[in-house]
């Protein structure tokens, strides 16, 4: 499939679209309770006890969000059979009519397309299944909304527009009742009731809220904002133009920000100047005290101790790319970080370097697995033995064995896969049994 031009597009176009955005800114019970198979913690994604009734009526899947394609692939764990490909944008014509009738919304729509989507619409960013596998909740950046699908009928059952002009990363609470959704241009995170899509509350963020992760008990959200990653001002001297970027700990009962940290400031205190404050994907230790954080432009990750409020280690990984910083994928050197349930091994997606790195959290020794161009997300399998890595430039997902650091294989998905989440799919929603990866050699 043809690919767009790199991000070194004309500065004039960038400036014009940013101006549009800035002007616009100035104006402006179907799901059962219970444990969920995929918590908001993208770093762990471990399988809790699945009630027997749910286990009997569902199949375990990896849900792959195909950003530019506007589809989600439901791939069965173990067999790697595609059980369903869901059209995430059945209402595309209606949404476009609404957007094009509003000058500010249309300006942002074009800005998202050109500056973030590399010339493509961002139809699906993140998606989670309900605990019973009957529903899928999806954030759609270009449409600035979140929708819920009934997977049996494949129809949208509710839709919630954002306050701002773009939706981004989400997290599903451990009890499966609420979604935390980054409302990018409103600089806040919306908390949504999954039963009907009603907004229950919100909490403030920095510029461009991004990553959300619930604590295991659901009492806290670990959140990060990334700033304006789409501008060409990528040299260190221009860092402040990227905006306010924070790591935050939020009380879910009150939506109160309990802690707000500038990670670059903590790095300066530890003797590491010239790092970005923008936390990209994060992985969290089982005791939820050690945070492994990928940062804009950094090939590697930093380790932050929450209780001591300090940087413990800075862990560089091999830099392979020869591209200048201005060509980095939305400022990401690496974008994707997963962890095994025991907290002993990380799986880092080396976005600009074409590899996945399996890193021992005790020694920081790493093993590299070559996976292909632009790996963009990492997710640990529910049983904790495998790392799935989306290869966005190849429209594929790589499957890596944590123990052996071997590439088991790749399977094809839709155009530009990004976020992936483990979950359940109701057997009544299965539409096909298409084998995507030959596992007979295993």
- What CATH number did the domain enclosing 130 receive? 2.130.10.10
Instruction: Tell the burial category of 1 from Cβ atoms under 10 Å away from its Cβ (0-12, 13-18, 19+).
Output: exposed
The CA distance from 85 to 414, in Å, is 9
Q: Which residue from 428, 280, 411, 288 is spatially nearest to 348, judged by alpha carbons? A: 280
DSSP state string for 169-210: EEEE-TTSSEEEEEEGGGTEEEEEETTT--EEEEEE-SSSEE
Phi and psi of 362, rounded to 5°?
-80, -50
Rg, Å, the chain Cα set:
20
Q: Which residue from 34, 141, 46, 90 is spatially nearest to 421, judged by alpha carbons? A: 46
Check: CB of residue 20 under 8 Å from CB of residue 111. yes
* Residue 133 forms part of a structural domain: yes
pLDDT tens string 45-77? 334 578 999 999 999 999 999 999 999 999 999
Q: Looking at the 3D structure of the chain, how many domains does it have?
A: 1
* Residue 316 forms part of a structural domain: yes
Domain that holds residue 207: 30-91+121-435
What does the pLDDT read at residue 441? 44
* Residue 414 forms part of a structural domain: yes
Structure-token match 């400022």, residue found: 331
Tokens read off for 365: 């020794």
* Residue 108 forms part of a structural domain: no
Tokens read off for 5: 């031009």
pLDDT tens string 93-144? 999 999 999 999 999 999 999 999 999 999 999 999 999 999 999 999 999 9
Element (H, E) at 369: strand 366-370
* Residue 168 forms part of a structural domain: yes
Segments in 212-359 forming alpha helices (H): 263-269
The CA distance from 4 to 2, in Å, is 7
What does the pLDDT read at residue 48? 55
This prediction's pTM: 0.90
Strands (E), 67-198: 71-76, 81-87, 126-129, 135-140, 145-150, 155-161, 167-172, 178-183, 188-193
* Residue 102 forms part of a structural domain: no
Check: CB of residue 228 under 8 Å from CB of residue 239. no
pLDDT < 50: residue spans in the chain: 1-47, 441-442
* Residue 440 forms part of a structural domain: no
- In this structure, what DSSP letter does residue 229 have? T
What does the pLDDT read at residue 308? 98
Q: How far is CA 252 from the centre of its chain?
A: 20
What does the pLDDT read at residue 32? 32
* Residue 2 forms part of a structural domain: no
């Amino acid at each position: 499939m043809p690919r767009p031009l790199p991000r070194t597009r004309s500065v004039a176009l960038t400036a014009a679209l940013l101006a549009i955005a800035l002007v616009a800114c100035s104006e402006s019970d179907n799901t059962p309770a219970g444990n969920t198979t995929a918590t908001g913690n993208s770093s762990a994604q471990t399988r809790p006890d699945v009630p027997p009734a749910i286990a009997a009526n569902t199949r375990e899947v990896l849900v792959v969000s195909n950003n530019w394609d506007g589809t989600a692939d439901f791939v069965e764990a173990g067999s790697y059979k595609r059980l369903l490909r869901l059209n995430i944008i059945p209402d595309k014509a209606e949404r476009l009519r609404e957007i094009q009738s509003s000058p500010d919304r249309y300006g942002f729509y074009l800005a998202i397309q050109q500056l973030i989507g590399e010339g493509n619409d961002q139809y699906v960013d993140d998606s989670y299944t309900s605990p019973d596998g009957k529903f899928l909740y999806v954030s759609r950046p270009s449409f600035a909304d979140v929708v819920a699908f009934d997977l049996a009928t494949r129809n949208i059952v509710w839709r919630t527009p954002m306050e701002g002009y773009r939706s981004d990363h989400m997290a599903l609470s451990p009890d499966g009742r609420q979604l935390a959704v980054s409302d990018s241009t409103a600089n806040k995170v919306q908390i949504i009731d999954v039963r009907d899509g009603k907004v229950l509350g919100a909490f403030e963020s920095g510029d461009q809220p991004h990553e959300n992760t619930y604590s295991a008990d659901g009492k806290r959200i670990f959140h990060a904002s990334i700033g304006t990653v789409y501008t060409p001002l990528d040299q260190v001297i221009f860092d402040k133009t990227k905006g306010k970027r924070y790591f935050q700990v939020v009380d879910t009962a009150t939506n109160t920000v309990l802690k707000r940290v500038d990670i670059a400031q903590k790095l300066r205190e530890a003797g590491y100047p010239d790092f970005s404050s923008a936390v990209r994907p994060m992985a969290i230790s089982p005791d939820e005290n050690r945070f492994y954080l990928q940062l804009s432009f950094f090939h590697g990750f930093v380790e932050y101790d929450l209780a001591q409020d300090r940087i413990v280690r800075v862990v560089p990984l091999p830099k392979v790319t020869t591209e200048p910083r201005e060509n980095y994928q939305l400022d990401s050197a690496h974008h994707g970080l997963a962890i095994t349930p025991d907290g002993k091994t990380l799986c880092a997606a080396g976005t600009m370097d074409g590899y996945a790195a399996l890193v021992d959290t005790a020694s920081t020794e790493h093993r590299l697995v070559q996976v292909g161009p632009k790996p963009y997300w990492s997710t640990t399998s529910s049983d904790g033995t495998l790392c799935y890595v989306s290869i966005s430039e190849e429209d594929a997902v790589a499957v890596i064995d944590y123990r052996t650091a071997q590439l088991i294989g790749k399977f094809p998905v839709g155009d530009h896969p990004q976020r992936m989440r483990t979950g359940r799919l109701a057997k009544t929603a299965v539409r096909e049994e298409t084998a995507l990866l030959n596992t007979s050699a295993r």
